[in-house]
Amino acid sequence: MIKIRNATFRQLQVFESIARNGSITAAAEELHLTQPTLSIQLKKLTAIVGMPLFDQIGKRIHLTEVGHELLAACQSVFETLASFEMTVADIKGVKKGRLRLSGVTTAEYFAPRILGSFCKKYPGINVTLEVTNRQRVLERLEQNLDDIYIVGQAPTESHIHRTPFLANPLVVLASPGHPLAGKKGISIEALARENFIMREPGCGTYGSIDRLVHEHDFQFKSSMGLGSNEAIKQAVIGGLGISMLSIYALTHELQSGELVVLDVEGFPIEDQWYLCYPKGKQLSIVARLFSDYMLSEGRELTLKSLANISF
Protein backbone atom coordinates (compact mmCIF):
# COMPACT_ATOMS: atom_id res chain seq x y z
CA MET A 1 0.00 0.00 0.00
CA ILE A 2 1.27 3.47 -0.92
CA LYS A 3 1.86 5.58 2.19
CA ILE A 4 1.81 8.98 0.50
CA ARG A 5 1.16 10.52 3.91
CA ASN A 6 4.85 9.85 4.59
CA ALA A 7 5.76 12.36 1.89
CA THR A 8 6.81 15.78 3.13
CA PHE A 9 5.08 18.97 2.06
CA ARG A 10 8.33 20.16 0.45
CA GLN A 11 8.52 16.98 -1.66
CA LEU A 12 4.98 17.60 -2.93
CA GLN A 13 5.86 21.23 -3.65
CA VAL A 14 8.92 20.13 -5.62
CA PHE A 15 6.94 17.58 -7.62
CA GLU A 16 4.12 20.04 -8.40
CA SER A 17 6.54 22.74 -9.51
CA ILE A 18 8.45 20.36 -11.80
CA ALA A 19 5.19 19.05 -13.28
CA ARG A 20 3.79 22.54 -13.84
CA ASN A 21 6.98 24.05 -15.26
CA GLY A 22 7.98 21.00 -17.26
CA SER A 23 11.59 21.07 -16.11
CA ILE A 24 13.73 20.71 -13.00
CA THR A 25 15.69 23.85 -13.92
CA ALA A 26 12.58 26.06 -13.98
CA ALA A 27 11.28 24.50 -10.76
CA ALA A 28 14.62 25.12 -9.04
CA GLU A 29 14.48 28.80 -10.02
CA GLU A 30 10.89 29.11 -8.83
CA LEU A 31 11.51 27.43 -5.47
CA HIS A 32 14.97 29.00 -4.98
CA LEU A 33 16.57 25.59 -4.53
CA THR A 34 19.46 23.87 -6.27
CA GLN A 35 18.78 21.27 -8.95
CA PRO A 36 20.53 18.51 -6.97
CA THR A 37 18.26 19.28 -3.99
CA LEU A 38 15.18 18.98 -6.20
CA SER A 39 16.44 15.73 -7.71
CA ILE A 40 16.96 14.24 -4.24
CA GLN A 41 13.48 15.27 -3.07
CA LEU A 42 11.91 13.89 -6.25
CA LYS A 43 13.80 10.60 -5.86
CA LYS A 44 12.55 10.22 -2.27
CA LEU A 45 8.95 10.95 -3.33
CA THR A 46 9.18 8.45 -6.19
CA ALA A 47 10.39 5.82 -3.73
CA ILE A 48 7.41 6.51 -1.46
CA VAL A 49 4.95 6.19 -4.37
CA GLY A 50 6.74 3.11 -5.66
CA MET A 51 6.22 3.98 -9.33
CA PRO A 52 7.83 6.47 -11.74
CA LEU A 53 6.26 9.92 -11.73
CA PHE A 54 7.99 11.20 -14.88
CA ASP A 55 9.21 9.75 -18.16
CA GLN A 56 12.36 11.28 -19.65
CA ILE A 57 12.18 11.54 -23.44
CA GLY A 58 15.26 13.27 -24.79
CA LYS A 59 15.65 16.47 -22.80
CA ARG A 60 11.96 16.72 -21.95
CA ILE A 61 10.11 15.16 -19.04
CA HIS A 62 6.51 13.99 -19.18
CA LEU A 63 4.15 12.94 -16.42
CA THR A 64 3.32 9.26 -16.19
CA GLU A 65 -0.25 8.16 -15.49
CA VAL A 66 0.57 7.96 -11.78
CA GLY A 67 2.24 11.37 -12.03
CA HIS A 68 -0.95 12.90 -13.42
CA GLU A 69 -2.95 11.45 -10.54
CA LEU A 70 -0.46 12.74 -7.96
CA LEU A 71 -0.45 16.19 -9.59
CA ALA A 72 -4.24 16.38 -9.28
CA ALA A 73 -3.99 15.37 -5.62
CA CYS A 74 -1.27 17.96 -4.96
CA GLN A 75 -3.29 20.72 -6.59
CA SER A 76 -6.30 19.81 -4.50
CA VAL A 77 -4.25 19.87 -1.29
CA PHE A 78 -2.54 23.16 -2.14
CA GLU A 79 -5.82 24.82 -3.12
CA THR A 80 -7.41 23.71 0.15
CA LEU A 81 -4.50 25.02 2.21
CA ALA A 82 -4.38 28.28 0.24
CA SER A 83 -8.11 28.73 0.75
CA PHE A 84 -7.67 28.14 4.48
CA GLU A 85 -4.83 30.66 4.71
CA MET A 86 -6.83 33.27 2.84
CA THR A 87 -9.93 32.58 4.92
CA VAL A 88 -7.91 33.28 8.05
CA ALA A 89 -6.48 36.43 6.45
CA ASP A 90 -9.99 37.50 5.46
CA ILE A 91 -11.25 36.97 9.01
CA LYS A 92 -8.39 39.12 10.25
CA GLY A 93 -9.31 41.75 7.67
CA VAL A 94 -5.98 41.39 5.88
CA LYS A 95 -6.00 40.56 2.17
CA LYS A 96 -3.06 38.22 1.69
CA GLY A 97 -2.36 35.25 -0.51
CA ARG A 98 -1.22 34.14 -3.93
CA LEU A 99 -2.93 34.74 -7.26
CA ARG A 100 -1.86 32.86 -10.38
CA LEU A 101 -3.17 34.15 -13.73
CA SER A 102 -2.72 33.08 -17.34
CA GLY A 103 -3.66 35.20 -20.36
CA VAL A 104 -3.36 35.29 -24.14
CA THR A 105 -0.67 37.52 -25.63
CA THR A 106 -2.92 40.53 -26.32
CA ALA A 107 -3.75 40.66 -22.61
CA GLU A 108 -0.21 41.96 -22.02
CA TYR A 109 -1.37 45.33 -23.37
CA PHE A 110 -3.87 45.94 -20.56
CA ALA A 111 -3.55 43.29 -17.83
CA PRO A 112 -0.26 44.61 -16.29
CA ARG A 113 -1.86 48.05 -15.85
CA ILE A 114 -4.79 46.50 -14.00
CA LEU A 115 -2.49 44.30 -11.92
CA GLY A 116 -0.38 47.29 -10.96
CA SER A 117 -3.44 49.06 -9.59
CA PHE A 118 -4.70 45.85 -7.95
CA CYS A 119 -1.37 45.20 -6.20
CA LYS A 120 -1.20 48.77 -4.91
CA LYS A 121 -4.63 48.31 -3.36
CA TYR A 122 -3.80 44.84 -1.99
CA PRO A 123 -0.01 44.80 -1.40
CA GLY A 124 -0.21 41.52 0.53
CA ILE A 125 -1.25 39.55 -2.56
CA ASN A 126 1.53 37.94 -4.61
CA VAL A 127 0.50 37.89 -8.29
CA THR A 128 2.03 35.97 -11.20
CA LEU A 129 0.85 36.35 -14.80
CA GLU A 130 1.74 33.82 -17.50
CA VAL A 131 1.28 35.39 -20.96
CA THR A 132 1.34 32.91 -23.84
CA ASN A 133 -0.52 31.91 -26.98
CA ARG A 134 -4.18 30.91 -26.91
CA GLN A 135 -3.54 27.18 -27.34
CA ARG A 136 -1.18 27.09 -24.36
CA VAL A 137 -3.62 29.11 -22.20
CA LEU A 138 -6.38 26.61 -22.98
CA GLU A 139 -4.02 23.74 -22.14
CA ARG A 140 -3.26 25.36 -18.79
CA LEU A 141 -6.99 25.79 -18.21
CA GLU A 142 -7.64 22.12 -18.89
CA GLN A 143 -4.86 21.21 -16.46
CA ASN A 144 -6.17 23.70 -13.88
CA LEU A 145 -2.70 25.22 -13.41
CA ASP A 146 -3.87 28.74 -12.58
CA ASP A 147 -6.64 30.53 -10.70
CA ILE A 148 -8.14 32.55 -13.57
CA TYR A 149 -7.57 32.69 -17.34
CA ILE A 150 -7.91 35.86 -19.45
CA VAL A 151 -8.96 35.10 -23.04
CA GLY A 152 -10.78 36.63 -25.98
CA GLN A 153 -13.34 34.49 -27.79
CA ALA A 154 -13.92 32.28 -24.79
CA PRO A 155 -13.97 28.50 -25.32
CA THR A 156 -17.51 27.17 -25.60
CA GLU A 157 -17.06 23.82 -23.86
CA SER A 158 -19.73 23.22 -21.24
CA HIS A 159 -17.20 22.48 -18.48
CA ILE A 160 -15.70 26.00 -18.62
CA HIS A 161 -17.11 28.94 -16.67
CA ARG A 162 -16.99 32.21 -18.66
CA THR A 163 -17.53 35.76 -17.42
CA PRO A 164 -17.37 38.59 -20.00
CA PHE A 165 -15.71 41.64 -18.47
CA LEU A 166 -14.59 43.93 -21.29
CA ALA A 167 -15.35 44.67 -24.94
CA ASN A 168 -12.51 43.76 -27.30
CA PRO A 169 -12.92 45.64 -30.61
CA LEU A 170 -11.02 44.09 -33.53
CA VAL A 171 -9.96 46.61 -36.19
CA VAL A 172 -8.23 46.59 -39.57
CA LEU A 173 -4.91 48.43 -39.44
CA ALA A 174 -2.58 49.86 -42.05
CA SER A 175 0.34 52.23 -42.38
CA PRO A 176 -0.55 55.93 -42.78
CA GLY A 177 0.73 55.85 -46.36
CA HIS A 178 -1.50 52.97 -47.45
CA PRO A 179 -3.87 53.79 -50.38
CA LEU A 180 -6.91 52.91 -48.23
CA ALA A 181 -5.87 55.14 -45.31
CA GLY A 182 -8.37 57.96 -44.82
CA LYS A 183 -11.03 56.48 -47.11
CA LYS A 184 -14.58 56.08 -45.77
CA GLY A 185 -16.84 53.05 -45.99
CA ILE A 186 -14.31 50.60 -47.43
CA SER A 187 -16.06 47.40 -48.49
CA ILE A 188 -14.87 44.11 -47.08
CA GLU A 189 -14.53 42.83 -50.64
CA ALA A 190 -11.94 45.56 -51.27
CA LEU A 191 -9.68 43.85 -48.73
CA ALA A 192 -9.35 40.91 -51.11
CA ARG A 193 -6.95 43.01 -53.18
CA GLU A 194 -4.61 43.47 -50.22
CA ASN A 195 -1.67 41.58 -48.78
CA PHE A 196 -2.84 40.40 -45.35
CA ILE A 197 -0.65 39.71 -42.35
CA MET A 198 -2.13 37.40 -39.71
CA ARG A 199 -1.32 35.56 -36.52
CA GLU A 200 -0.59 31.84 -36.41
CA PRO A 201 -3.43 29.26 -36.56
CA GLY A 202 -5.05 28.75 -33.17
CA CYS A 203 -4.80 32.41 -32.21
CA GLY A 204 -8.08 34.23 -31.49
CA THR A 205 -7.68 36.83 -34.23
CA TYR A 206 -6.79 34.09 -36.72
CA GLY A 207 -10.18 32.52 -36.02
CA SER A 208 -11.93 35.86 -36.58
CA ILE A 209 -10.14 36.38 -39.89
CA ASP A 210 -10.96 32.85 -40.98
CA ARG A 211 -14.67 33.40 -40.27
CA LEU A 212 -14.60 36.73 -42.10
CA VAL A 213 -13.12 35.15 -45.22
CA HIS A 214 -15.63 32.29 -45.25
CA GLU A 215 -18.65 34.50 -44.55
CA HIS A 216 -17.84 36.81 -47.45
CA ASP A 217 -16.40 34.09 -49.71
CA PHE A 218 -13.16 35.78 -50.76
CA GLN A 219 -9.42 35.32 -50.43
CA PHE A 220 -6.71 37.87 -49.82
CA LYS A 221 -4.29 38.51 -52.66
CA SER A 222 -1.59 37.02 -50.48
CA SER A 223 -1.08 36.41 -46.78
CA MET A 224 1.77 36.14 -44.34
CA GLY A 225 1.69 34.48 -40.92
CA LEU A 226 3.66 35.94 -38.03
CA GLY A 227 3.94 34.69 -34.47
CA SER A 228 3.32 37.84 -32.43
CA ASN A 229 1.34 41.07 -32.39
CA GLU A 230 4.57 43.07 -32.26
CA ALA A 231 5.89 41.41 -35.41
CA ILE A 232 2.60 42.07 -37.20
CA LYS A 233 2.62 45.75 -36.25
CA GLN A 234 6.18 46.22 -37.46
CA ALA A 235 5.35 44.47 -40.74
CA VAL A 236 2.35 46.74 -41.31
CA ILE A 237 4.37 49.84 -40.40
CA GLY A 238 6.95 48.66 -42.93
CA GLY A 239 4.29 48.57 -45.67
CA LEU A 240 4.13 44.80 -46.11
CA GLY A 241 0.34 44.74 -45.94
CA ILE A 242 -2.68 45.24 -43.68
CA SER A 243 -3.85 43.22 -40.70
CA MET A 244 -6.52 42.89 -38.01
CA LEU A 245 -5.77 43.14 -34.29
CA SER A 246 -7.40 44.09 -31.03
CA ILE A 247 -7.51 47.86 -30.50
CA TYR A 248 -5.74 47.27 -27.18
CA ALA A 249 -2.64 46.11 -29.05
CA LEU A 250 -2.47 49.38 -31.01
CA THR A 251 -2.82 52.22 -28.50
CA HIS A 252 0.83 53.34 -28.69
CA GLU A 253 1.14 53.16 -32.48
CA LEU A 254 -2.17 54.94 -33.08
CA GLN A 255 -1.19 57.76 -30.73
CA SER A 256 2.23 58.09 -32.37
CA GLY A 257 0.72 58.01 -35.87
CA GLU A 258 2.72 54.96 -36.97
CA LEU A 259 -0.50 53.07 -37.72
CA VAL A 260 -4.06 53.99 -38.68
CA VAL A 261 -7.37 52.14 -38.39
CA LEU A 262 -9.13 51.61 -41.73
CA ASP A 263 -12.84 52.47 -41.98
CA VAL A 264 -14.03 49.08 -43.19
CA GLU A 265 -17.73 48.15 -43.34
CA GLY A 266 -18.72 45.92 -40.43
CA PHE A 267 -15.77 46.99 -38.31
CA PRO A 268 -14.81 47.09 -35.56
CA ILE A 269 -15.81 43.50 -34.88
CA GLU A 270 -17.11 43.50 -31.32
CA ASP A 271 -15.39 40.66 -29.52
CA GLN A 272 -15.20 40.21 -25.74
CA TRP A 273 -12.58 39.56 -23.11
CA TYR A 274 -13.49 36.81 -20.67
CA LEU A 275 -12.38 35.57 -17.28
CA CYS A 276 -12.48 31.77 -17.42
CA TYR A 277 -11.90 28.82 -15.12
CA PRO A 278 -13.15 25.22 -14.93
CA LYS A 279 -16.74 24.83 -13.79
CA GLY A 280 -16.93 23.41 -10.30
CA LYS A 281 -13.62 25.02 -9.34
CA GLN A 282 -13.89 26.73 -5.95
CA LEU A 283 -12.24 30.10 -6.43
CA SER A 284 -10.04 31.22 -3.58
CA ILE A 285 -10.88 34.40 -1.70
CA VAL A 286 -8.09 36.22 -3.54
CA ALA A 287 -9.26 34.95 -6.95
CA ARG A 288 -12.81 36.10 -6.20
CA LEU A 289 -11.44 39.45 -5.07
CA PHE A 290 -9.52 39.82 -8.33
CA SER A 291 -12.53 38.79 -10.42
CA ASP A 292 -14.69 41.42 -8.70
CA TYR A 293 -11.92 44.00 -9.19
CA MET A 294 -11.67 43.21 -12.92
CA LEU A 295 -15.42 43.68 -13.37
CA SER A 296 -15.37 47.09 -11.71
CA GLU A 297 -12.20 49.12 -11.27
CA GLY A 298 -10.15 47.07 -13.74
CA ARG A 299 -12.69 47.53 -16.49
CA GLU A 300 -12.90 51.29 -15.92
CA LEU A 301 -9.12 51.63 -15.82
CA THR A 302 -8.78 49.84 -19.17
CA LEU A 303 -11.52 51.86 -20.86
CA LYS A 304 -9.79 55.08 -19.81
CA SER A 305 -6.72 54.00 -21.79
CA LEU A 306 -8.82 54.15 -24.98
CA ALA A 307 -10.46 57.48 -24.19
CA ASN A 308 -8.20 59.50 -26.49
CA ILE A 309 -8.22 57.04 -29.38
CA SER A 310 -10.79 57.22 -32.17
CA PHE A 311 -11.52 54.17 -34.30
280 CB-side CA count, 13 A: 6
| CATH entry, 95-166+272-304, from 3.40.50.1240, 3.40.190.10, 1.10.3720.10, 3.30.1490.190 | 3.40.190.10
Fold of 167-271: D-Maltodextrin-Binding Protein; domain 2 (3.40.190)
- What's the pLDDT tens digit per position in 63-104? 999 999 999 899 888 888 877 876 776 666 657 778 999 999
Same fold across 4-70 and 95-166+272-304: no
Fold of 4-70: Arc Repressor Mutant, subunit A (1.10.10)
- Predicted pLDDT of residue 237: 94
Q: What does the DSSP 8-state code read for residue 32?
A: T
- What's the pLDDT tens digit per position in 116-132? 999 998 888 889 999 98
Could you tell me the residue ranges of all domains in the chain? 4-70, 95-166+272-304, 167-271
Q: Please give the full DSSP string across 102-118, using - where no structure is assigned.
A: EEEGGGGGTHHHHHHHH
Q: Are 201 and 208 in contact (CB under 8 A)?
A: no
- What's the pLDDT tens digit per position in 280-293? 887 888 888 899 99
